Amino acid sequence: MAVVKPFQAVRPAEEFADRVAALPYDVYNREEAKKEADREPLSFLCIDRAETQLDDSVDTYADEVYDKAKELFEQRLEEGVFVEDTEDAYYIYQLEMDGRTQTGIAACASVDDYVNGCIKKHENTREEKEQDRIRHVDTLNAQTGPIFLAYRSRKEVNDIVNTVIAEQKPLYDFTAPDGISHRVWKIVGDKVAQIRAQFAAIDHIYIADGHHRAASAVKVGLKRRAEHPDYDGTEQFNYFLSVLFPDDQLMIMDYNRTVKDLNGETKESFLEKVQESFTVSALEQAAHPQKKGQVTMYLDGQWYLLQAKENLLSITDPVESLDVSLLQNYLLKPILGIEDPRTSDRIDFVGGIRGLQELERRADGDMCVSFAMYPTSIGELFAVADAGLLMPPKSTWFEPKLRSGLLIHRL
């Protein structure tokens, strides 16, 4: 039974929402973050990545970065850039990209549900990546970047959401500079209890995106529990900010690979070895794979279709049968010598949002060969998580990205 509770959000005043809303902190490098913060001084990125407000000589993880984030957050509260709701509510968060919408419910998920496995994971996290967000949440005393959760769609929840959308004017309705539209509604009254009961009937929810943010939020909660041994479970630090989406509205894009060299092979010997596990055919132009078991490859100015052979397609293990696993286990590792894609400096990963042209550009430039993947499905993600297993790194790329700063959970 999932505990998904309403909360009193800190959120931008309506006139500032489009300026405050920011892409997640980790989609930018420092130079890109600085440029975006300079472009829009009210962007929440200025708080999420407060090093943008300091001299470039200041280390990204210096104490003064987190202190600056807190200072800016409190300043914008005082200035009225942010307002704070005074009643518990759920919030509907709808995103539209290229004519496709996905509609989720912003709420607080339970630290205990994360710890006991009711909230299921499919990725490992790295402690060094967690430490930054742990300090950020702890210093601000607030969670500012929602965790992207998924659940198996329920008609009862959809009906409530659709009713609110039909009857109410949104709190926010704007289109961001990247063309993605964002709309937010507030749910109060008797529908709050109805939604809470619907989620209580769900056995499991799943982290779709944001494993490091989730782990960091949970660790702050556990730290606060240790600091307050008399806690009773109702404190806000027992919960973390999330947006929950029904699985049938989600789109996972391809997460592609590009490799620096052919590991000593000639083009001819490499293609010959690839054909041991894949049927290889030349393509007339750039193309995405059209079904599971296919990969398209760009090498030396030519696109190829790689079709996994029947013995690979008959694998039933939920992790080993993933297309990213087939490529890793039967091509990248045995032929190109990529033993561990997490640590190898010979491989890089390219989100599908960047298109096939980016794969060509990399292979023609600093890399050598690129691979376009067929997207992992949400069903495959659920199957891996249900089996208690972990996906290979960079298996899923979710679009559109949730914005930070639109809904904030104070601890």
Contacts for 230 with CB less than 8 Å, ≥ 6 apart: none
Residues 305 and 291: their CA atoms lie apart, in Å, by 11
pTM of the model: 0.91
Q: What is the pLDDT of residue 124?
A: 83
Mean pLDDT of 174-178: 95
* Average pLDDT value for residue range 259-274: 98
Per residue in 35-83, pLDDT (tens digit) is 999 999 999 999 999 999 999 999 999 999 999 999 999 999 999 999 9
Confidence at residue 150, expressed as pLDDT on a 0 to 100 scale: 97
How far apart are the C-alpha atoms of 360 and 24, rounded to whole Å? 27
CB 34 within 8 A of CB 55: no
Q: Which of 394, 359, 358, 355 is nearest to 376 (CA)?
A: 394
221-244: per-residue pLDDT in tens? 999 999 999 999 999 999 999 999
Average pLDDT over residues 360-377: 97
> Using CA of residue 314, residue 319, residue 320, residue 324, what is the dihedral sign?
positive
| pLDDT per position as a tens digit, 85-105 | 999 999 999 999 999 999 999
Taking a C-beta distance cutoff of 8 angstroms, is the pair 129, 212 a contact? Answer: yes
Single-letter residue type at 240: F
Instruction: Check whether 128 has a pLDDT greater than 90.
Output: no
